[in-house]
């Protein structure tokens, strides 16, 4: 599992970006049958990504083929 936590403030004006960052993370997690959990409160933003990866090493290398 990957966990990222960052401080945040509701006083900050949201920065308009491309909007594909979290979509990309969710797509990769989905490809490996994983999950994404996003949690935010006025002080912090937390992202948890869980990947389910087979113990068979050739399965991983064959995913991109």
Please write the tens of the pLDDT for every residue from 12-45: 556 666 667 888 999 999 988 899 999 988 889 8
| Long-range pairs of 41-44 with CB within 8 A, sequence gap ≥ 24 | 42/8, 42/9, 42/10, 43/7, 43/8, 43/9, 44/5, 44/6, 44/7, 44/8
Task: Say if pTM beats, i.e. exceeds, 0.85.
Answer: no
User: For residue 4, is pLDDT > 60?
Assistant: yes
Pick the more confident residue, 58 or 51. 51
Residue 20's pLDDT is what? 74
């Amino acid at each position: 599992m990957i966990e990222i936590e960052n401080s945040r403030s509701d006083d900050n004006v949201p920065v308009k970006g491309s909007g594909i960052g979290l979509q990309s993370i969710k797509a990769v997690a989905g490809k490996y049958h994983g999950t994404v959990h996003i949690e935010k409160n006025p002080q912090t933003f937390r992202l948890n990504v869980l990947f389910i990866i087979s113990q068979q090493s050739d399965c991983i290398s064959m995913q991109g083929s």
